[in-house]
């Protein structure tokens, strides 16, 4: 299924948009509590002075700037959607696309992440952390937060990661229980993620 969705998105973007619209409507009915569940999880995340929260409409201009100033080679692994304002607004309006952010102590955006949900009970996670804010535990906390949100909502969390993207592979493994599903044609790994199991003291 993952490969089919990726192929549809790449080969027929106009049809993909229609699929997203219908999916968003169905998703909003089945998972209407997801935004509140996510807000509750994010409010409890503690990583130094960083604040995790849902991304609001007023954050879209900052998100566009944030994405466009990242080094091009750093964006090799992160291209889930266009970075133009019109596309960001379209996604923000879709109930099945949950957009979230990480803000630094000064309020500037330090990270962006999302869950792209499907009404059949799955959600795909994606994230990017500002190059200057790496190695602070942000990526691990994002992965863990997404797994927690999906678990509470009854969604199966999945992601695609390149084995060459070691920082993402490591943070995903640190933040979640990772189960490989398949290797895709482009070399990426499809994985299923769940909350870390609590170790008994």
pLDDT digits (tens, 9 = 90+) for 118-138: 999 999 999 999 988 988 999
- Is the sign of the CA dihedral 84, 87, 89, 91 positive or negative? negative
Q: What per-residue confidence (pLDDT) applies to 3?
A: 56
With beta carbons less than 8 A apart as the criterion, state whether 158 and 181 touch.
yes
- Is the sign of the CA dihedral 163, 167, 173, 176 positive or negative? negative
Number of domains in the chain: 1
3-state secondary structure of 22: helix
Query: What digits encode the pLDDT tens for the residues 49-101?
Result: 999 999 999 999 999 999 988 877 666 666 667 788 999 999 999 999 999 99
The boundaries of the domain holding residue 183 are: 2-195
**Domain containing 164 — which CATH number?**
3.40.630.30
Average pLDDT over residues 99-116: 95
Average pLDDT over residues 34-57: 96
Q: Is residue 201 part of a domain?
A: no
Query: Does the structure show a pLDDT above 90 at 144?
Result: yes
Q: Is residue 103 part of a domain?
A: yes
pTM, entire model: 0.88
| Edge-to-edge strand list for the sheet holding 122-129 | 51-54, 97-103, 109-118, 122-129, 156-161, 189-195, 176-183
């Amino acid at each position: 299924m993952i490969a089919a969705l990726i192929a549809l998105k790449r080969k027929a973007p106009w049809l993909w948009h229609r699929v997203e619209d219908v999916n968003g409507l169905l998703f909003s009915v089945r998972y209407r509590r997801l935004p509140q569940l996510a807000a509750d999880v994010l409010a409890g995340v503690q990583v130094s002075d960083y604040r995790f929260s849902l991304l609001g409409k007023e954050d879209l201009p900052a998100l566009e700037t944030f994405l466009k100033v990242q080094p091009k080679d750093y964006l090799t692994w992160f291209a889930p959607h266009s970075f133009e304002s019109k596309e960001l607004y379209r996604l923000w309006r879709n109930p099945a696309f949950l957009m979230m952010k990480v803000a630094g102590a000064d309020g500037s955006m330090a990270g962006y992440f999302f869950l792209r949900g499907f009404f059949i009970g799955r959600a795909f996670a994606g994230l990017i952390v500002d190059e200057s804010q790496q190695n602070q535990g942000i990526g691990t906390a994002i992965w863990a937060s997404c797994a927690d949100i999906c678990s509470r909502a009854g969604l199966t969390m999945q992601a695609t990661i390149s084995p060459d993207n070691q920082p993402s592979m490591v943070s995903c493994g640190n933040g979640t229980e990772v189960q490989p599903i398949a290797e895709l044609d482009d070399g990426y790994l499809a994985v299923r993620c769940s909350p870390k199991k609590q170790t008994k003291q």
